[in-house]
Amino acid sequence: MAEHSFYAVGHGRKPGVYEKWADVQEQIKDFPQPVYKKFATKAEAEDYVNLRRAERVS
């Protein structure tokens, strides 16, 4: 069985959690200093996105 991954875009066109790398590429391509990371679980990816949002607010 293939590993299922979740991708967190912390800084891109539309920050959030994505399941397909192609969707991530749409959010980060040609975006200045994008921030993104791959995770094994959706919860980890959501936590990362929320942390990045909190860093931008404070």
Domain range 6-57, its CATH number among 3.50.50.60, 3.40.190.10, 1.10.3720.10, 3.40.970.10:
3.40.970.10
Between these two residues, 55 and 43, which has the higher pLDDT value? 43
* Residues contacting residue 7 through CB under 8 Å, at least 6 positions apart: 17, 18, 19, 20, 21, 23, 24, 36, 37, 38, 39, 45
Domains of the chain, residue spans: 6-57
Given this model, what pLDDT does residue 1 score?
A: 52
Given this model, what pLDDT does residue 7 score?
A: 99
Given this model, what pLDDT does residue 54 score?
A: 86
* Tens-digit pLDDT profile for residues 26-45: 999 999 999 999 999 999 99
* Residues contacting residue 5 through CB under 8 Å, at least 6 positions apart: 19, 38, 39, 40
Strand arrangement of the beta sheet that strand 16-18 belongs to:
16-18, 6-11, 35-39
